[in-house]
Structure 1
Amino acid sequence: MPQASRYSDEQIETLLNELSAVLAKHHTPTDLSLMVLGNMITHVINTSVSPEQRKTLARSFSEALLSSIREPDTH
């Protein structure tokens, strides 16, 4: 069951569009995009989350990421 966000769809879409625009501006390939975004996530967790909660948050984030990946349609 998806959780309700405390942020509006507009806030999320604005940031997503801006981040996507930066990656597009630099013609960033997929692997580099994933590396940079992964490093950003690590930085946010390491600088904004208490040491005791970091692994729990990282685990929850990775589970949410996996659940959001679309499976290919198989007919």
Structure 2
Amino acid sequence: MASNSKFQDKQVDAILNDMIAVLEKHQAPVDLSLVVLGNMVTNLLTSSVGKNQQQALAKAFSDALMNSVK
């Protein structure tokens, strides 16, 4: 999604491939996959980010997602 990242491509690709494999294992259609991924993002924000930063980070994530599909 991001063009510049502090994370190594190899690590990102490995995790992405694992997540894709799980969705394929469950034969999740696109809409279910998006619901699950959205719930994961929400869970990460609410469990790992301070309440005062959650909306700003959600907005940054949303903007990055929108830019990635342009």
User: Does the TM-score normalized on the shorter chain lie above 0.5?
Assistant: yes
1:63 and 2:46 matched = no
Question: Higher Cα Rg: structure 1 or 2?
Answer: 1
Deviation at 1:4, TM superposition (A): 3.3
**TM-score for both structures, normalised by structure 2:** 0.92
Mapped partners of 1:42, 1:64: distance in 2? 16
Tell me the residue number matched to 1:73. none
Once superposed, which parts of structure 1, at least 4 consecutive aligned residues long, lie more than 3 Å away?
A: none
Cα RMSD for the two superposed structures: 1.3
Q: Which moved more, 1:43-52 or 1:2-11?
A: 2-11
Provide structure 1 residue ranges, at least 5 long, that are not aligned to the other structure: 71-75
What is the total number of aligned residue pairs between the two structures? 69
Deviation at 1:3, TM superposition (A): 6.0
Higher relative contact order (CA 8 A, sep 6+): 2
Provide structure 2 residue ranges, at least 5 long, that are not aligned to the other structure: none
Mapped partners of 1:65, 1:4: distance in 2? 14
